[in-house]
Amino acid sequence: MSTSLLYQAFGVRGYRYVSTDYFDGVVMFTIEQDRGTLRCSACGSHRVMAHGGETRVFRLVPIGSKRVFLLFRVPRVECHECQVIRQVAITFAEPRRRHVRSFERYALELCQHMTIQDVADHVGVGWDLVKDIQKRHLERHYAKPKLRRLRQIAIDEISVGKGHHYLTVVLDLESGAVVFVGEGKGADALLPFWKRLRAGHVRIRAVATDMSLAYIHAVREHLPRAVHVFDHFHVIKLFNEKLSDLRRELYREATERLHKRVLKGTRWLLLKNPENLDPERKEYQRLQEALRINQPLAAAYYMKEDLRQIWMQPDKATARLVLDGWIRRADQSGIRMLQKFATTLSMYRSGILAYYDYPISTGPLEGTNTKIQLMKRQAYGFRDQHFFKLKIYALHTTKYALVG
């Protein structure tokens, strides 16, 4: 085996090949360093004198199923400039590591397609070593996302475990990258993010959130010049919750057995969009029967369909007319649930119409949440929370798929 092959195959350059040994399914390469290339690892001076060395073994990239190691006696030198005896620098491995850099690159490439345990089994090392390699890589590249070009963001909390454990996530809507992950939910979780924005003099133009008062006050305080857009997904979701409550109330008040039977089991039919009703299961017929015998439920259901039209208009002026008309009809319906929801929309009117200034939403965060849940499932959870956050920061560069 030649010295050039050591460099081309394993990234070991500047050393002289000595020998190859084979034993117990292991390949062991031995190299040495020429005395003329010895340098002080602190000052770089060539005025050094050899003082023995220490033999170390490094793990190389495997050859098929064969484990491969590198045997190297690391020279120790006395520097005439520093007047100190120390080991020379190793160019093919990081300090205090027992594997070469090419092994790290190989493990990271495998981690894009396999779980940590699969990579560890393939290369013949422990799970913790592969995790350490990946964690240091994520720390180096994703620990502090750059905020300088941040213009449009979405903020939402996601559930990441039992016991109401939440993380607050900030997403760059232009790049799709997660730029902040905070512990808990609410305004306090965002305090470190606001601090970084002020330090970097970042000018956010638009923010998409739900209608939480905590987010409203936080955005108003820390981003007073930004356009605050209330996510239309959360508006429809809130209306669906009120619609479900109305169905339960009507079911409890129903006196005839027929009415109870028709109302029972229609919750998911009410929440579905009409185009998603399954004709083979006669969902449309069941829904129409429930609406026919219950006028308040029918009125609320068709008002939901009209509510979706607010975000389908050609311009802001038309959307304003549609929204004002919806609020007026809800007030005049005589149905308490619709009247209360009309009051809610009146309070958040400007944030809803701001969608036509910046057509953004927290929808991309829902996709990020799906990736996070899938990532947790593949890893059976994460005990190292810092490592978990680093994985979230790198989600935009990763593709996850359910297999098997």
Residue 351 has what pLDDT?
93
Residue 257 is predicted with a pLDDT of 45
Q: Identify the band that residue 295 occupies on the pLDDT scale cut at 50, 70 and 90.
A: low
Report pLDDT for 151.
94
Is the pLDDT score of 203 beyond 50? yes
Q: Is the pTM of this model over 0.85?
A: no
Residue 50 φ/ψ, nearest 5 degrees: -65, 140
What local confidence, expressed as pLDDT, does residue 164 receive?
A: 66
Give the model's pLDDT for residue 1: 55
**Token pair for residue 3?**
């010295």
Average pLDDT over residues 115-120: 89
Q: How far apart are CA 197 and CA 194, in angstroms?
A: 5
Q: What pLDDT is recorded for position 170?
A: 95
Distance (Å, whole) CA 6 – CA 61: 11
| 39-46: average pLDDT | 88
Reading the block at residue 317, the tokens are: 């002026």
What is d(CA 290, CA 299) in angstroms, rounded to the nearest whole number? Answer: 12
Query: How far is Cα 31 from Cα 53, in angstroms, rounded to an integer?
Result: 13
Q: pLDDT above 70 covers what percent of the chain?
A: 83
CA distance 216 to 190: 12
- As a whole-number percent, the residues of the chain with pLDDT over 90 amount to 45
Which is the CATH superfamily of the domain at 152-231+361-397? Ribonuclease H-like superfamily/Ribonuclease H (3.30.420.10)
* Average pLDDT of span 333-350: 88
Confidence of residue 112 (pLDDT cuts 50, 70, 90): confident
Residue 384 near residue 132 (C-beta atoms within 8 A) = no
Neighbour-count burial of 78, counting CB atoms closer than 10 A to its CB (0-12 exposed, 13-18 middle, 19+ buried): middle
What pLDDT was estimated at residue 302? 73
- List 76's β-bridge partners, or say none: 87
Render 33-73 in DSSP notation, one character per residue: --GGG---TTT--S-EEEEEEEEEEEE---BTTBEEEEEEE
Asked if 232 contacts 240 with a C-beta cutoff of 8 angstroms, the reply is no
Given pLDDT bands bounded at 50, 70 and 90, which one contains residue 222?
very high
Q: What is the DSSP string of 181-247?
A: EEESSSGGGGHHHHHHHHHHT----EEEE-S-HHHHHHHHHH-TTSEEEE-HHHHHHHHHHHHHHHH
Q: Average the pLDDT over 272-300 and give the result.
A: 58
Name the E strands within 231-310. Answer: none
Tell whether the model's pLDDT for residue 190 goes beyond 70: yes
Q: What is the largest CA-CA distance in the chain?
A: 101
Instruction: Determine the Cα–Cα distance for residues 302 and 333; give it in Å rounded to an integer.
Output: 12
Interval 398-402 mean pLDDT: 56
Residue 115, H or E segment: none
pLDDT, tens digit (0-9, with 9 covering 90-100), for 77-91: 999 888 889 999 999
Query: Domain map of the chain by residue range?
Result: 3-99, 152-231+361-397, 232-356
What's the mean pLDDT in 274-303? 60
pLDDT higher at 14 or 256: 14
> When comparing pLDDT for 250 and 384, which is higher?
384
> Are the CB atoms for 60 and 103 separated by under 8 Å?
yes
Q: How far is CA 40 from the centre of its chain?
A: 44
pLDDT at 377: 75
Give me the mean pLDDT over the 103-110 stretch.
94
Task: Check residue 273 and give its pLDDT.
Answer: 58
Which of 194-208, 349-363, 379-393 comes out lowest in average pLDDT?
A: 379-393
- The SS3 call for residue 293 is coil
Contact 69/40 with Cβ under 8 angstroms? no
Give the residue with greater pLDDT, 5 vs 221.
221
The helix-helix angle for 101-111 and 127-142 (nearest 10°) equals: 90
Residue count of the chain, please give it: 404
Give the pLDDT mean for 178-199.
91
**Inter-axis angle of helices 336-347 and 316-331, nearest 10:** 150
Instruction: Tell me what pLDDT residue 342 has.
Output: 92
Q: Are 142 and 179 in contact (CB under 8 A)?
A: no
**Mean pLDDT over residues 219-234, rounded?**
92
Q: Degrees (nearest 5) of the Cα angle 179, 180, 184? A: 155
* β-pair partners for 166: 159
Indicate the pLDDT class of residue 304, thresholds 50, 70 and 90.
Answer: confident
Residue closest to 397 by CA, chosen among 230, 178, 206? 178
- Mean pLDDT of all residues in the chain? 84
How far is residue 326 from each of residues 96, 134, 170, 333, measured CA to CA in Å? 67, 53, 32, 10
Q: Would you state the pLDDT for residue 237?
A: 87
- Residue appearing with tokens 């009247």: 339
Instruction: State the Cα–Cα distance between residues 229 and 349, nearest whole angstrom.
Output: 10
Report how far residue 210's alpha carbon sits from residue 352's, in angstroms, rounded to the nearest whole number.
10
Comparing 29 with 4, the larger pLDDT belongs to: 29
For residues 182 and 318, give the distance between their C-alpha atoms in angstroms, rounded to a whole number. 38
- Give the three-class secondary structure for 161: strand
Instruction: Write the pLDDT tens digit of every residue in 45-73.
Output: 888 888 889 999 999 999 888 899 999 99
Mean pLDDT score, 117-131: 91
